[in-house]
Amino acid sequence: MSIVSDSHDEGVINDINMTPLIDVMLVLLIIFLVTLPVINKAVKVDLPQAAAQPAVSKTADIDLSVMADKTVLWNKEPVDESTLKQRVAEVATRSEPPAVNINADQHVEYGKVAAILADLQGGGLNKINFVMARPEGHQ
């Protein structure tokens, strides 16, 4: 009596054999590590020394503050409307006009800040930033 076995143990493996891949990657890594110092030292260039300092033409920003009582401060110095327009005209003629940072009190009417903004833009200053305080608890 013969028992017929229906099991086919041919050993079908559904996984990828990783050993050859790891061997090839290790060889490539070793080749890369050996040739890296040669690549860095292949070309030697004697660079010239710089004697002059690079020209820095960064202009200082202007801090324009509008207080709760509608007082306007130009870099912490009180100015009236005519003086503000005069100073805007002076700094707008520079080759690189500075940026203006507007610090307005939260209780100042929008119309006052809008009038100052119109004076700045009308005078030729286009780099205008509004400075705001961060809410408590935010970094």
Q: Where are the beta strands (DSSP E) in 6-67?
A: 62-66
Measure CA 11 to chain center: 59
> Where along the chain do its domains lie?
62-130
Q: What 8-state DSSP symbol labels residue 125?
A: -
Q: What is the pLDDT of residue 131?
A: 82
Give me the sign of the Cα torsion angle 115, 120, 124, 128: negative
Looking at residue 49, its amino acid is Q
Query: Residue 53 is encoded by which pair of tokens?
Result: 């300092």
Q: What is the pLDDT of residue 52?
A: 61
CATH for 62-130 (1.10.40.30, 1.10.357.10, 3.30.420.270, 3.20.20.70): 3.30.420.270
Q: What is the pLDDT of residue 61?
A: 86
Q: What is the pLDDT of residue 25?
A: 96
Per-residue pLDDT of the chain (139 residues; tens, 9 = 90+): 556 555 555 677 788 888 999 999 999 999 998 887 766 665 565 556 666 665 555 668 889 988 888 889 999 899 998 999 999 999 988 888 888 998 888 888 888 889 999 999 888 888 898 887 766 665 5
